Amino acid sequence: MTDLVPTDFTGDPNEHRRKIADGANAALNGANRTVGEVTLRANEATTTVTSIYVTETSHITLEPLTANAATEFAAGGMYISARTSGASFVLTHANDANADKDFSYSIENK
C-alpha cells in the first residue's frame, strides 16, 4: 500500500520546508491515492477491505487481476456496498467457490 506519511521536523527549517514541498508535489502528482490488493472471499457474499484512508465520499476503483476476477467484474453484480470513514469499505459480490478473484484497488479522496 502506498500512503503519504507526515514528515518529522528535523530541526533545520529549510530541510523541513523542502520535505513539505516534496509531499505537496507528490500529492499534486497523484500520490494522494492509497492502493492495495484484495481477494474476494470464497463462499461469502461480502468482503471487507480495511483502510484508514477510506471516507464516506472516497472514490474507489477496482481492477481485476485474474480471469475469475474479470468474470466477476464483467457480470456486473459486484459493488461497493458500504464505506466507513477511517476504517473500511465492503464489496458485495457473487457467493461462489472461486478462491482466486483477485483485484487491485485505488482509493482517492478529494
For residues 82 and 25, the model is more confident at 82
Q: Please report the pLDDT score of residue 2 as a whole number.
A: 46
CA distance 100 to 110: 32
DSSP 98: -
pTM: 0.72
Q: Please report the pLDDT score of residue 1 as a whole number.
A: 43
Dihedrals φ, ψ of 107, to 5°?
-110, 120
Dihedrals φ, ψ of 28, to 5°?
-65, -25
Q: Across residues 74-92, what is the average pLDDT? A: 96
Sole residue written with cell 497523484: 30
